[in-house]
Structure 1
Amino acid sequence: MNCKKLFVALLVATMAITACKKNLEPIEETETIVPEDIASFKETATIDLGGETSAEISAYDPSTKKLFVVSNEGGAKVEVVDLTLYPIVSKVRTLTYPSNAGINSVAVSNGLLAIALDGADKQGNGDVVVLKTSDLSEVKKITVGAMPDMVTFSPDGNYILSANEGEPSDDYTVDPIGTVSIINVKNNYTVKTLDFASFETQKSTLLAGGFRIYGPKASFAQDIEPEYIAVSSDSKKAYVTLQENNGVAEVDIVSGSITKITPLGTRDISLAENPFDVSDKDSKIALANWPIKAYYLPDAISYFSTGGSSYLALANEGDTRAWKGYDEEARVKSLKLDPTKFPTAATLQLDANLGRLTVTKAFGDTDGDGDYDELYATGGRSLSILNASTGALVANIGKDLEQHVIDAVKYDDERSDNKGVEVEGVTVAQVNGKTLAFIGMERVDMIAVYDVTTPASPKFVQLFSTGDAPEGVLFVKPKDSPNGRSLVIVSSEGDGTVKFFQPNKL
């Protein structure tokens, strides 16, 4: 082969390899590894922003070293916190939105701050307001669906996505549809809001997989309640938790369409690997197996890649529809149990056994005869890891998680009858070359750290205490952090504190 032909052959081969690389999924970031002890996170700074609900979700801007914190104390507000002199942190400004019924979420990307606000009427359309982080001037205000509960940017910064929960009014006379809004930043913030009406035809199949559609007089689209969003590293797909419905939706961001709903099924508490502490009146803290199942009902979701595959981490908090107009909650002792399925019903329904456990009365009477053939608790009390492509369950961190809290003498037995440790938040990030899941537990005021570098075999790393009722769990990479070290920021709605945690250097 002559030189010219060899050059052409090499050029073609190089182009082919480049094309293949561009199409590889997932895209894994390669950054300089900062040597840090993954098991040594400790509090290095804190700020008190007020009382209850004054610190919920936060977002950090590396260009200005400002932290933006959602507050609903005395109105819809964003507290602006300066981290320039970290570990000295100070509040420098408050943004107020008196015309909005509430504020739910914030996100930052490329010098822009997105704020998710309820409308003046909570069941009406909400707003996403975009500001410049440099001077906090308004860039755009975009109308989205009802009750935008979570807002996030795609990793490339080209899109803003909003999960519009569409909760009903307390009397359940007004029930807006649940939607997902996709805002195209590069196209003058044009918005496309997607609903779930087209999935009505799949209802029976979804229900068979453990999906929940049950609101009184609600259509399929009305019954869906999007909660939280995670976006793939290539900015092409979004994954949305449908908390009350017990599922995850997949969204094609580029085409602007909802492509799939994955029902999450249930966690079988009769199995050895899935024990619960079900009573707050048994004078003990002990995980045990019971003849019940639990809907996962995830809140937060985090997308991550490791070992050449993509995964979703789900914080299985549990949530119910407990409104004046419709309440699905019941104690097991208040229900009539099928004598064949539950031959020891009288014993099971004692307060020291299952009697006090909160379950849903919307499901379980499988034969429609007025008694319950199955019992379904409301919340998985765990962190689930799913394969992002298939939706298959890869691992479930539940028994190990709660047992570590019990061993640390931090378990709140008063919550045994309802949600346990209450896994609410999660973010997955790289620290010293390891993939770590930071799991927020609202009812024990703690973060658990697990090594999920091998997702099928999570390994416990550490527990550390937070403020009261941690709501937002945010990770800042060393290259973006104010002092060049990994930073976990936890905002707690119970006491209004924001606490900052960092690991030791190696």
Structure 2
Amino acid sequence: MQFRTLCLTSALALTASSAAADMNFNRIASFATPLNMAAGEDTARETSAEIIAASGDGMTLIYTDSPLGVVGLIDITDPANPQPLGNIALDGEPTSVTVIGSTAYVGVNTSASYTAPGGKLLSIDLGTRQITGSCDLGGQPDSTAHDDAGTFVVVAIENERDEDLGDGRVPQMPAGYVSKVMVDNGVMACDTIQKIDVTGLADVAPTDPEPEFVDVNALGEIVVTMQENNHMVVIGTDGTVMSHFSAGAVDLTRIDIDDDRASLMFTGEQMGRLREPDGVQWLDDTHFMTANEGDMDGGSRSITVFSKDGTVVFESGSDYETAVIQAGHYPDKRSDAKGVEPEGMEFAVFDGTPYAFVLGERASTVSVYDTTDPTNPVFKQLLPSGVAPEGAIAIPGRNLFVTANEADLIEDGGVRAHVMIYAYQDAPAAYPQLTSAGADTLIGWGANSGMVAGEDGIVYFVNDSFYGNQPTIFTVDTTQTPARITAALPVLRDGAPAMKLDMEGITLDGNGGFWIASEGRTDHDIPHALYHVDASGEITQKVMLPEALLANELRYGFEGVTKIGDTLWMAIQREWKDDPKNHVKLVSYNTATGAWGAVHYAKAEPATGWVGLSEITAHGDFVYVVERDNQIGANAVTKKIYRIPASDMVPAELGGDLPVVTKELVRDLIPDLAANGGYIVDKIEGLAIFADGTVWVSTDNDGVDDSSGETFFWSFGKL
């Protein structure tokens, strides 16, 4: 069997040409699902956006919200300003939705148990928002799709297994099947339901197929993934099986296979990894692409293009993950399982060019491929999405693409579930803003923290304790667009990675090396400390805090370090025991004399949560600090840069009254963050200022852990 493999050089081409004439997809808006709740409802309840579809005119979105048992509607007449249209309550759990004209068809799970599955297909008029019909499906539905002519809806009846029963594997009866429901002018003909048997086909648990995802080509043929069975089925227009075949396996190289939650090492291999595909989309009447998420025994982290006779004509292998890694979106916590987990998919033709959109569930990304040649998809660009994209819909007639992102992190104080909207524009790709594409080796990165400007457009930044086994100083060339990570220097102690660091600040020592500020956490045996690192990355000096400081320490310590002459200045993020309310210390350490001192900085009263400092940078006659709250999305209030006259930075003796410095607002960063079209992220962590006053700012993506993984790295010009 011969097939083509996506070459690494193609995957490394992470961004589109900077030429303005290039067409690219850029995010223009986002919509938080709690906005669809009615006045008086408890918006603190979990909500979600899972599978999404659009009305025939492209003006209305409808998405399934399983936690609430509703479908939500959004008015996108103005796609840059989506408006809530409310929720429609359903008697059951919505699993999928597809739309023909102005009628939505929603699969609803009504199962009494795993062994007594049930479900129905509802029709909903999007104009009146009324349920107009209901067909009993006889089992638990998963995905839905319809033919181009709008004459039928096909439903994958999964009858999913109980993962907590026994070894959690198939077979677990009853078996799943595929249902085909005829439609006439929007009206379902329930008496025409065709139950298509797909048992006895797969090598894995042939008695218990679990159809997962369905799609229909222009001929009316249906392709079905059976993820747990690692099998593909193609069904003809008469409802009989045309072909079926194993989805097969992939030999993976250059992957991270260790869930150490502390480092990014893309040197592992997995031979014979079952594809176990989830999403599938026809690329033409002969070829379809699968997103190989995996479930029981596999997950090849890849995309594959099959001919409908079962021939593999393209396999990405681990190259699918390459662009994700280079953009800082790799989820290390999933390394031992399924990596970035390609899951949902969409396909559409925009202005004559066919595109496949592959959702990385754990990476919170969309990988866009030009499929002009379906046997050789060409990677085009990577889009940032909300947390855990589950569904997508393309609206090429309006040059729009939309994702539904299911994770609602309200219990963890995180961001809510979102629908995100992108426009196909005659403009450069706006994301990523920072990439390691083009480096000599594959550089993984994330959890960006403190920054410092060097010379000739070079910025250095450090990662924090999320990658505790891989403390690294990264070199960034800001003269390129997007800014490019060109080198990664490990921070070493006696030649080995320096464990027990939480690097939150970096500054130049003036002699080719660096000073690093590490935020302490004594309950995790991480000391508050300063470290001198030479040009090779070796720690040459460790400076512990004096007892006068440690006597009043709390968890939130150093956030940033800067150097003025022989003196290092460090910002302490939040109040320690001896600080007045809403006052934090700026601590000084004289590298020549060893003397310590401090001043006080008055920070904002938090509207919700807390406010603290997250960076400090000296430039000219001022010292600049980043002051931020810990709020995210619509709750964000304080994300600001202030400056302090350098003349105020006269340290007083520790243990006594500290002078309070004056501050002046330089920039509110919330408008900058909002310009990215998503929600407002919480962690502004890096600030670097070049000699000419050019400013660069960076955010921390928390190592893609309960985070969308987005890193914003931008300049707003000169001071």
TM-score by length of 1: 0.71
The amino acid that maps onto 1:149 is D
Deviation digits for residues 384-409 of structure 1 (CA, Å, limit 9, x no counterpart): 11112x22111112322212112222
Match for residue 252 of structure 1 among 218, 225, 236: 236
SS at match of 1:460: strand
What residue in structure 2 maps to residue 188 of structure 1? 189
Match of 1:268 in 2: 251
- How far 1:87 moved relative to its partner? 1.9
Structure 1 residue aligned with 2:30: 46
Secondary structure at the aligned position of 1:437 is classed as: strand
Greater fraction of residues in helix: 1
Is 1:317 aligned to 2:293, yes or no? yes
Give 1:171 shift. Answer: 5.4
Equivalent residue runs for 1:429-448 within 5 Å: 429-448=348-367
Query: Which structure dedicates a bigger proportion of its chain to strand?
Result: 2
CA shift in 2, pair 1:39/1:423, >3 Å: farther
Q: 2:373 is matched with which residue?
A: 454
Match of 2:346 among 427, 438, 453: 427
Preserved CA contact (<8 Å) 1:294 1:380: yes
Which structure 1 residue ranges, 5 or more long, are not aligned? 1-35, 214-219, 321-359, 361-377
Give the letter aligned to residue 504 of structure 1: Q
- Indicate the percent of aligned positions where both proteins have the same amino acid: 27
Residue type of the alignment partner of 1:313: M
Over residues 18-62 of structure 1, what are the superposed CA-to-partner deviations in whole Å (9 max), with x where a residue is unaligned? xxxxxxxxxxxxxxxxxx966521111110003755110111003
Distance change in 2, residues 1:292/1:52 (3 Å): farther
Q: Which whole-Å deviations, capped at 9, do the CAs of 1:304-328 have from their partners, x for residues lacking one?
A: 22xxx621010111112xxxxxxxx
**Which residue of 2 is the match for residue 73 of structure 1?**
67
Alpha-carbon distance change, 52 to 379 in structure 1, aligned in 2, over 3 angstroms:
farther
Who is 1:234 aligned against? 219
Match of 1:488 among 386, 391, 401: 401
Q: Does 1:116 align with 2:107?
A: yes
Moved more, 148-157 or 288-297: 288-297
Distance 1:241 1:52, change over 3 A: farther
Partner of 1:28: none
Distance 1:53 1:163, change over 3 A: farther
1:139 corresponds, among 129, 132, 135, to 132
Asked if the contact 2:146–2:215 (Cα under 8 Å) also holds between the matched residues in 1, the reply is no
Alignment partner, residue 174 of structure 2: 176
Q: Quick one: distance in 1 between partners of 2:80 and 2:173?
A: 45
> How far 1:175 sits from its partner (Å)?
2.6
Q: CA deviation at 1:64?
A: 7.1
- Partner of 2:422 in structure 1? 501
User: In structure 2, how many angstroms separate the alpha carbons of the residues matched to 1:78 and 1:283?
Assistant: 39
| Number of the residue aligned with 1:10 | none
Letter paired with 1:275: R
Q: What are the within-5 Å matches in structure 2 for residues 406-417 of structure 1?
A: 406-417=325-336
SS of residue matched to 2:387: coil
Contact 1:313 1:384 in 2 (8 A): yes
Give the corresponding residue for 1:466. 385
Task: Give the alignment's TM-score, normalised by structure 2.
Answer: 0.50
Q: Aligned letter for 2:195? A: T
Counterpart amino acid of 1:240? V
Residue 23 of structure 1 corresponds to: none
| Structure 2 gap segments, 5+ residues each | 1-19, 35-44, 167-171, 409-416, 428-719
1:223-274 deviation digits (Å, cap 9, x = unpaired)? 2000010101122x10010011111111123x222333211111123xxxx4
Deviation of the 1:289 alpha carbon: 5.0
The DSSP-based 3-state class of the residue aligned with 2:265 is coil
C-alpha contact (below 8 Å) 2:250/2:272 kept by paired residues? yes
Cα distance change of structure 1 residues 230 and 38 upon mapping to structure 2, 3 Å threshold: farther
Q: Which residue pairs with 1:225 in the alignment?
A: 210
Give the residue type in structure 1 aligned to 2:305.
I
Aligned residue for 1:19?
none
Query: What root-mean-square deviation, in Å, do the aligned CA atoms of Structure 1 and Structure 2 show?
Result: 2.2
Matched residues in 1 for 2:378 and 2:47: separation? 33
User: CA–CA distance in 2 between the matches of 1:421 and 1:171?
Assistant: 24
Change (3 A) 1:37 1:490: farther
Counterparts of 1:69 and 1:404, CA distance in 2: 28
Matched, 1:397 2:380: no
In the other structure, the counterpart of 2:272 is 293
1-side partners of 2:31 and 2:307: how far apart? Answer: 37
For residues 226 and 130 of structure 2, the distance between their equivalents in structure 1, rounded to whole angstroms, comes to 33
**1:164 touches 1:178 (CA, 8 Å); kept in 2?**
yes
User: CA 1:379/1:53 → structure 2, altered by over 3 Å: closer, same or farther?
Assistant: farther
2:467 corresponds in structure 1 to: none
- What is aligned with 1:387? 307
Deviation at 1:278, TM superposition (A): 0.8
Kindly tell me the number of residue pairs found equivalent between the two proteins: 379
Query: In the alignment, which residue of structure 2 is the partner of 1:104?
Result: 95
Looking at structure 1, the residues matched to 211 and 265 of structure 2 have their Cα atoms a distance apart, in angstroms, of 34
Q: What are the superposed Cα offsets for residues 76-131 of structure 1, whole Å, 9 maximum, x if unpaired?
A: 1100111123322111121112x32x210011012221000011425422100112
Judge conservation of contact 2:251–2:317 (CA < 8 Å) in 1: no
Q: Is the 8 A contact 2:302 2:319 kept in 1?
A: no
Q: Deviations over 1:452-498 (max 9, x none)?
A: 212232222111211001111211112xx3xxxx1110010013100
Check conservation: 1:145, 1:178, Cα contact below 8 A.
no
Which residue number in structure 2 is paired with residue 91 of structure 1? 84
The corresponding residue for 1:125 is: 118
Task: Summarize the Cα distance change of 1:385–1:395 in structure 2 as closer, same or farther, 3 Å threshold.
Answer: same
Report which stretch shifted further, 49-58 or 423-432: 49-58
Q: What residue number does 2:505 align with?
A: none
Q: Is the partner of 1:104 in helix, strand or coil?
A: strand
